[in-house]
Structure 1
Amino acid sequence: MEIKATLNNLRISPRKARQVAVLVKGMKAEQAKNQLTFLVKKPAPIILKLLNSAIANAKHNFSINQENLYIKSLLVDGGPSLKRWLPRAMGRATPILKRTSSIKLVLGEIKEGSGKIKKTRKEKEGEPKETARNLPESGIEKSVVEREEKMGEEYKEKKSLIQKPRDSSSKSKNKNFTRQAAGNLKKVFRRKSI
């Protein structure tokens, strides 16, 4: 089974990202994780995040253990380039291409079907999991919930009682206005026309 994870428009040159990709391609997932955590290259932590995402996909979607996974393929392709200009002598400009890359990671199983996580009996039968809302509330928990509800109501009442002042203008606003008036005169009477 193949588990996929992709990353698009990464602002790193594909040539630099390929150096890291070649290093971990074909490794077991755990070995690749260890390799990427201690690798001192800019794309390494980003590819590690992508690998963690793919492992999480395998665990959540297909219930496959991390020990049973390896990196089947890791493709680094070029994405759209951002075009920028560098000023040079005598009014010239030279183009700069800020390259982006897209990374496609595919994990495979070492042994087909052997590393699956076994579900508990409750999950198989479809019974709801025990959460904080489903648990029976004790007397202490009920009192805490009631107190929070009362405080919420009091807060709403106080908020409605607070009124804004009728005259919203303040002295600081008046000062700014007078300064602005002087600035407007400067805009009208300029030394040079624009």
Structure 2
Amino acid sequence: MRSEYRAILRNAMISPQKVHVLVDAIKGKPVEKALDILRFMPQKSAKILQKIVHSAVANADNKDKVDVDRLIVANVTADQGATLKRFSARARGRGTRILKRTAHITVTLADKAS
């Protein structure tokens, strides 16, 4: 039986498109290696993903007391969240819309297949 452990961050103030850049870098990797990869990436989404992976590891440790060294990053998804609509001043008294996108990020960890 393969156990899965999740951590979810809702309404993160970052576009899902920016999170997708790093998703392929950590998907399928052992947790320790994924955290090392994220630690040295310069993107804002790397720090956010690092916190979510830490949270998923803590969830696994508290729930079933699993060996953390045997966990891999099974799946990472970044879905569109609510969009904040703002206006910015433009020339000649006009205003243009600015869409501040948010993301729902889910990290799923699983035991290594024996």
Settle same-fold status: TM greater than 0.5. yes
Structure 1 residue aligned with 2:17: 15
Answer with 1 or 2: which has the greater Rg. Answer: 1
What secondary structure sits across from 2:42 in the alignment?
coil
| Structure 1 unaligned blocks of 5 or more | 113-194
| Structure 2 unaligned blocks of 5 or more | none
Structure 1 residue aligned with 2:93: 91
Q: State the Cα distance separating 1:101 from its structure 2 match.
A: 0.6
Structure 2 residue aligned with 1:37: 39
**Distance in 2 between residues matched to 1:98 and 1:44, nearest whole Å:** 19
Equivalent residues, number: 112
Q: State the Cα distance separating 1:85 from its structure 2 match.
A: 0.7
Q: State the Cα distance separating 1:93 from its structure 2 match.
A: 1.2
What secondary structure sits across from 2:37 in the alignment?
helix
Tell me the percent identity: 37
Structure 2 residue aligned with 1:55: 57
Report the AA paired with residue 38 of structure 2.
Answer: L
- For 1:41-78, what per-residue CA distance to the aligned partner results, in whole angstroms no more than 9, with x for missing partners? 10111111110111111111011111111111100001
Report the AA paired with residue 46 of structure 1.
Answer: I
Relative to its length, the structure with more helix (as a share) is 1
**Distance in 2 between residues matched to 1:111 and 1:58, nearest whole Å:** 16
Report the AA paired with residue 32 of structure 1.
Answer: A
**Distance in 2 between residues matched to 1:42 and 1:98, nearest whole Å:** 15
Q: Is 1:105 aligned to residue 96 of structure 2?
A: no
Report the AA paired with residue 102 of structure 1.
Answer: H
User: Residue 27 of structure 1 is aligned with which of 26, 29, 32?
Assistant: 29
Greater than 4 Å deviation, 4+ residue runs:
none
- The answer as to whether partners of 1:5 and 1:104 remain within 8 angstroms in 2 is yes
- For 1:116-165, what per-residue CA distance to the aligned partner results, in whole angstroms no more than 9, with x for missing partners? xxxxxxxxxxxxxxxxxxxxxxxxxxxxxxxxxxxxxxxxxxxxxxxxxx
What secondary structure sits across from 2:19 in the alignment?
helix
If asked which structure has higher relative contact order (CA below 8 Å, sep 6+), I would say 2
